[in-house]
Chains A and B, each alone.
Chain A
């Protein structure tokens, strides 16, 4: 660990002790290890007209599948998002968290290139609206310096970052800056106080590569979501990273998301950690601050 990170950690500890207000509010008051928490869900912009009432449809699907809480972000229809666009997305997510208190929890989605706007909106979403985390997409690799202020803010606020991720063995022309496990491990090494969740191991290409790339990044979590349901994926994640670092998610592939955890040959205590215990622990950090 560098002296730089030690001094930054000390600073942030002090900042936290100085009274950054806990603001998760009613939504996660009763979060406990028995809840099933989908760490990776999405809402769709009402203006799109494609999925009107997407939040009620999502909750209805969660009811059928026994999912208690849905950690949701809303991405802009076109990216990269402008500051106005991501603010509007986050405003709509806030409305859904009010319509479904305790069921829908909010991630603030931002484009880190708009540094001040992004920092301001994240702080507003967390402190005033009770959001539980930050969602990043692929505007930048997560280890680029433009991300540093945002990562530092999440450390201060004690909230996780869920980042879009994937590793393909070919060039992804429409996502030239998609992060993979190596980018995430690198930023996690610089900021060991940060809580970073690597998104959708079942939706990001070579999942075996992704799992192995995170083995030596002990502060990084892996989200199980995505449509890929390859047998052995969850067992490998648990064996390589430990069950404490694996969190259940669907990313809207909901029967796939639930089915792959149900099908994994892991202990019931590990399954409970993955289905909600770990995510509850992550969110409790904010509540304790």
Chain B
């Protein structure tokens, strides 16, 4: 399994466990997760994210065969292009995580489109977590809404040559992102996230609409238990080959990993 949605470090509003490289690797071993795309949880709430990116790179340095670092970049913050260059060229980051609501911009703002263009030019996969945590448990300090799917739709349409992965969301089949024949470019994949795999079975419908090659395994660990994502794929009524694509091969293709 390759987990497209994992983290290291600390979150501002709740203690995380399994959040160092050795601890996360032990958790991954216990669940037979071979590799994970990780970004800094600290960076979500930082103004200047670059120290968190550097800390992440140092944390995964001896585990790069399994922990694939992703950069968090805020395109409205001074020096972001320099930070992106450093992350990709010197720190070996293979992808990007965007937090438009935490960092106070819209995905279709010119600054973000410029970042997406620059990251695409560097061959980076751009990931967009729809949420970090459930908004019902927000603190008394800040209110961070989910990233609207319509906004993500606008971005994938505006940047057809980019490659995106949408994380930790649901409700796609009610939007153009999850509809067959929507006219959107096929430049995005979606992780199993918060979708149901029984009852309403949105995950099954999404596989039908987009194809299993557009679905990724993403758990949100260590914010979240990895097991619910595993259970979703277990109960999903698709072929064994499709499950293997979802669990491993699709992410390997996007991250250009040798299997």
Residues of B within 8 A of A203 (CB): 136
A49 vs B226: C-alpha distance when bound (angstroms): 35
Chain A residues whose CB sits within 8 angstroms of the CB of B231 once the complex forms = 65, 255, 258-259, 262
Q: Which of A60, A166, A205, A263 contacts B227 (CB 8 A)?
A: A263
Query: Which B residue's beta carbon lies closest to that of A64?
Result: B235
In the complex, the answer to whether B14 meets A230 with C-beta atoms within 8 Å is: yes
Question: By the criterion CB–CB under 8 Å, are B199 and A230 in contact?
Answer: no
Asked if B224 is at the interface of the complex by the 8 Å CB criterion, the answer is yes
Instruction: Name which of B177-185, B190-198, B241-249 contacts chain A.
Output: B190-198
* In the complex, chain B residues whose CB is within 8 Å of the CB of A263: 225-228
When chains A and B are docked, how far (Å) is the Cα of A232 from the Cα of B137? Answer: 15
Q: Tell me the complex Cα distance, A206–B17, Å.
A: 17
Which of B138, B143, B228, B235 gathers most chain A CB within 10 Å?
B228
- A residues 43-75 near B (Cβ < 8 Å) are 57-58, 60-61, 64-65
| Given known contacts A231-B16, A231-B17, A263-B225, A168 and B136 CB-to-CB distance under 8 angstroms | yes
CA distance A168 to B143 in the complex (A): 12
Taken residue by residue from 8 to 21, chain A's Cβ proximity to chain B (1 for < 8 Å, 0 otherwise) reads as 00000000000000
Q: How many residues of B contact A (CB 8 A)?
A: 32
Instruction: Name the residue of chain A whose CB is nearest to the CB of B16.
Output: A231
Q: Which residues of A contact B198 (CB under 8 A)?
A: 60-61, 64-65, 254-255
Report Cα–Cα, A60/B226, bound state, in Å. 24
DSSP majority for the B interface? loop
- Number of residue pairs across A and B with beta carbons under 8 Å? 86
Asked if B133 contacts A170 (CB within 8 A), the reply is: no
In the complex, which residues of chain A have a beta carbon less than 8 angstroms from the beta carbon of B227? 259-260, 262-263
Interface: B222 (CB within 8 A): yes
A228 within 8 A of B: yes
Contact A166 B136 (CB under 8 A): yes
A208 at the interface (CB under 8 A from B): yes
Task: List, in ascending order, chain B residues with CB within 8 A of A259's CB.
Answer: 225, 227-232
A137 to chain B, nearest CB (A): 17
B217 beta carbon closer than 8 Å to chain A: no
**Which chain A residues lie closer than 8 Å to B15 at the CB level?**
232
- A227 closest partner in B (C-beta): B194
Report Cα–Cα, A168/B137, bound state, in Å: 6
Q: Which residues of B contact A (CB under 8 A)?
A: 14-18, 133-134, 136-140, 143, 194, 196-199, 220-232, 235
30 A-B pairs with C-beta separation under 8 A: A60-B198, A61-B198, A64-B198, A65-B198, A65-B235, A168-B136, A168-B137, A168-B138, A169-B138, A204-B136, A207-B137, A227-B194, A228-B134, A228-B137, A230-B134, A231-B16, A231-B17, A231-B221, A252-B199, A255-B231, A255-B232, A255-B235, A256-B228, A258-B228, A258-B231, A259-B227, A259-B229, A260-B228, A262-B231, A263-B227
